[in-house]
Each structure stands twice: as C-alpha cells, then as structure tokens.
Amino acid sequence: MANGITDPKPWLEKLGPSQVAVFRRTARLLAELAQQGDKVNSNDIANVILADPLMTLRILHDANALRSKRLGSETGTVQHALMRIGVNAFFDKYKELATVEEALSSQPMALRIAYRLLQRSFHASWQARDFAALHLDIQAEEVEVAALLGCITELLLCLAAPETIGKLQRLRRKKSAAMAELELLGSPLDALQQAVLAAWQMPEELREMLALGQQPRPRQIMLRTAFEIDRWAEQGWWHEELAAAYGDLAELLGQLPQQVARIVHSNAVHAARAGAWIPAPAAARWLPMLPGAWPHEPEDEEEPHQEATPAASAKAATAADSSMAHPVPNKRIFEESLKAIENHLDGSLTLTQMSAQILRGLHSGLGLSRILFAMLTPDGTRVKSRFTLGVAADDPLRHFEIKLAAKDMFGQLMSRMQGVWLNSSNRGRMWPLVHPNLQQLIGEGDFYAMSLFAGNKPIGLIYADRGHGNFDLDPATYTDFKLLCLQAARGLAKAKPG
C-alpha cells in the first residue's frame, strides 16, 4: 500500500495529467484577453486563472513540465508559471479550451457538485491568502494556490467519473467521510489527492501544505483553518467548530479570536462579491442568520438546479456587510514596528523584510485595510506597485503606477517627502487633482498617501485606506501614519536589495 492507496494506477489513469476542461468563464475571459495583443499583462491573465482550480492545475503542470527541459526550480504560483511559459506562448497553447459546462452537459448533478466545489475552493483561497498576508508570508500566492487546489481531486472526479462523485456525496451523508471514501475510492481522499498532485507535477512545497495530517507548520495551520471555515460555514456561521478554528488562527496571527472572526467574515463577503458569477451559494449567504439548528440537506437528485445570480450573491453580501470591520488598531504592534525599523538601520534587513515590518505596522498597528507600497522603477521615471497587503487579487489598486513627473496630485506628492489625507472636507478640491485612471483604481473613498525620500532622492510612496465601507479615517491615525512613513523611509534607505 503506497500513500494509503491500495492501487493508485487505475485512478491516476482517469485523474492524471490531461487536457482537462476549465470553467466556461475562464475560457471566455482568456479568449477576450488574447484579443488585446500587447496591451495585456500577466496580472490580467493571473487574475482569471486564480479563479479556476482546473486552469490553475493545468498551467502549473505545464510550467513544471518545462523544468525537465530547462534548469530551474519548481513553481507554485501562477505568476511564475506565466513567466516560465511566456504570455504569447500561453495564448497559443490555451487558445481552444474545452469547458466543464460542455463536458457535463448530460450530467447535471455532477455539474452542480462541480460548482459547489468551485465556490468552496474560491472562498478558501480568498481566506488563505489573507491569512498568509497577515502572517507576513512574502509568498502569499503559494498559500492561495494550495487552498484553490484543496478540492482538485473531487473536481477531477466530476469530469472523469461523474457517477462516482455523485455516489460519494450521498454515501458521505450515511457514514463517515473516511469510510465512504475507502468504499468507493479504495483509499482516503487525502491520500489519493497526494498521488494526483504528484502525477500532475505539483511542487513538493504545495503537496506538503496540503498534507494536513503531518506536523502542522504555519502554512498548514492557515490552510487547515481556511478549509474548516469553508466547511462549517456551509452549515451557518454559528457552528461551535468555527470558534475553535478562530482560536487556532488567532494564536498564529497574534490577534484576538473576535478580531479573527471579523476578518474571516469580511473575507467571506469580499469572496462572495468577487465570485458572484459562480452558480452555487456563497458562504457569506448565511452571515445574516441568527444561531439555530441547521436544516437537513436534501439529496442532490432531489434538488432543483437554481443558479446563483450576481444580484442574489450581492444581496447576501450587502446584508452581511454591516457586521464587517477593518482590522482593530493595536498600538503595541505599531510601536513594535517603529522599534523594529529603528533596530535594523544597520543594513541587516532586505527590502522585502523591511517592507514586511512597515506593512505590519500599518495594517495591524494602525488598523488600515488596504495598503500599497509603490517603488521607483529602475529607470527612475515611474513609481509602481511593489508590495501590497489586504489588496485582493482582482482589486484594480494592484495596478497602481504613476509617472514621477506627472502634474496630477500624486505626481506633485512625489516632488518632495510629504503626505496627504483625502477626506470629505477636502474632496471637492483634491479629488479632481487625481488622474482619472487613478480615480478608477482607488475608488471613491478616503485615503492616506505619503511619498518616501532618502535625502532628496525619491524612494517610493505608501497608500493606505480602510476600504470603501463606513470606516472613517481620523486625524490621530493620520499622524501615526506619517510617523511610520518617516521611519519607513529611513529603514528603506538602509535595506539591502532582495
């Protein structure tokens, strides 16, 4: 018995590497991007791929397969996979994609299950990436990808063995999941998944993250918690198991369980909005419900196929939004960040490590939700997004970029080290000074921004806000924001490259 599987070969013949179908939306959006020619960038492509576990699996497999022909390390992120394959080669390779909807057109129950698995994977990946960012994991996308692939074996079963996945869902209601999986698959699903991931040439780090039975490390704790939240949220947000999950995560992130709960709820709402195109109920749908018994779930064959509309998902997300909050400011963390920068003005930290200290102070210390650190480009003509925290994968703010010599508000901000707080009292005067392209990226909300200089040489710019909800910025936080930015400029001037 290898990896807990009596004989994996029959299943790997069905579930192993192939030109597996992707979801219809993925095929459509990639076809649209292909028409843009040189205007398209890797971020646009990655955002589409990272909403589809099957497409993510395909590109990582193909990128890692090239490793046998070219020296290089394994890649566990979509961005790195795109770099290895190349944008033009990517569109040539994937210009004709079969779709899940076509493949399962005669298997409506399997299609419903596939949509549910997609919604779960999408929600879990959203949660996991934010947990990784809060944990200052500089490769948060690796954790996001692992969460997105958490249900990949079941998704492959939907396509390769639709009758089996239906039987498995029904059998799990009658006996334990482990017994159901052993009876139908010949092994626990986790063991089969490890064999499937290895067959698809997924990197060892990704496979270890998803081997949740091993000694837990921070990434495994974040993934396990994301999966548990996703699982129990399907039975309402008041299940006692969720409290235990929040406790584990709170210990890892150094926050109170109630703070973690607010973060998780906020992520669920954002995931519901971003995934409104998925025809399956989002976890945030149940946030407005009060504690109580959860009704028995009917058998899949008896369920009418009702596709979730964007309006329905948005309604659930809006109803839940009143319970959302920005990160709770923690003065101790703010002071720790200031001190950490002060203690490392000897050049002992890399740029990435110094930036992590700065982002932690802004996010956890000052309670700012979306934070962007933009740096001067090597040619010295532009300031472009380099590090972000709390900025979703599909948030336009990720594409922040300005010309150093621009005449708009941000260009003027880069003329010397100075800050700005855009708010209701100055919006009429200041907002028109923001370039229209940046207005679209930022959205109409209050924000802080400050340029960073080393002497008279520009380094970059920090932008921060509390989202576009009802969470106002305030004068005291602005004062602390400027203080941290001043300290950040000192630290960045001394940081080593890397």
| Residues linked to residue 403 through DSSP beta bridges, in sequence order | 382
Nearby residues of 176 by Cβ (< 8 Å), 6 or more positions away = none
Q: Residue 83 in contact with residue 60, Cβ under 8 Å?
A: no
Q: Residue 451 in contact with residue 328, Cβ under 8 Å?
A: no
As a whole-number percent, the residues of the chain with pLDDT over 70 amount to: 87
Summarize pLDDT for 112-171 with one digit per residue, the tens: 999 999 999 999 999 999 999 999 888 899 999 999 999 999 999 999 999 999 899 888
Burial 242-265 (b: 16+ CB within 10 A, else e): beebbebbbebbebebebbbbbbb
Residue type, 288: P
Instruction: Please tell me whether the overall predicted TM-score, pTM, comes out greater than 0.95 for this model.
Output: no
In degrees and rounded to multiples of 5, residue 425 shows phi and psi of -75, -25
| 277-300 average pLDDT score | 66
The count of C-alpha atoms lying within 13 angstroms of the C-alpha of 355, restricted to the half-sphere facing its C-beta, is 24
Residue 214: predicted pLDDT:
66
Count, in order, helices (H) and strands (E) of the chain. 24, 6
Max mean pLDDT among 45-49, 285-289, 313-317 falls in: 45-49
Summarize pLDDT for 455-490 with one digit per residue, the tens: 889 999 999 998 765 567 889 899 999 999 999 999
pLDDT at 376 over 80: yes
- HEC readout, 448-490: EEEEEEECCEEEEEEEEEECECCCCCCHHHHHHHHHHHHHHHH
Residue 416: predicted pLDDT:
92
Where do the domains of the chain lie, and which CATH numbers do they carry?
331-494 (3.30.450.40)
In degrees and rounded to multiples of 5, residue 373 shows phi and psi of -110, 110
- Rounded to whole angstroms, what are the CA distances from 164 to 8, 104, 170? 16, 14, 10
DSSP state of 310: H
Residue 7: predicted pLDDT:
61
Summarize pLDDT for 308-346 with one digit per residue, the tens: 343 443 333 333 333 334 567 888 888 888 998 988 888
Summarize pLDDT for 24-42 with one digit per residue, the tens: 999 999 999 999 988 888 8
Q: Residue 203 in contact with residue 76, Cβ under 8 Å?
A: yes
pLDDT at 302 over 80: no
Residue 71: predicted pLDDT:
53
Summarize pLDDT for 190-221 with one digit per residue, the tens: 889 999 999 999 999 999 999 866 667 899 99
Residue 411: predicted pLDDT:
93
CA angle 382, 383, 386 (to 5 degrees): 135
110 three-state secondary structure? helix
443, two tokens = 């959205």
As a whole-number percent, the residues of the chain with pLDDT over 90 amount to: 51
Residue 248: predicted pLDDT:
87
Residue 316: predicted pLDDT:
37
Residue 450: predicted pLDDT:
96
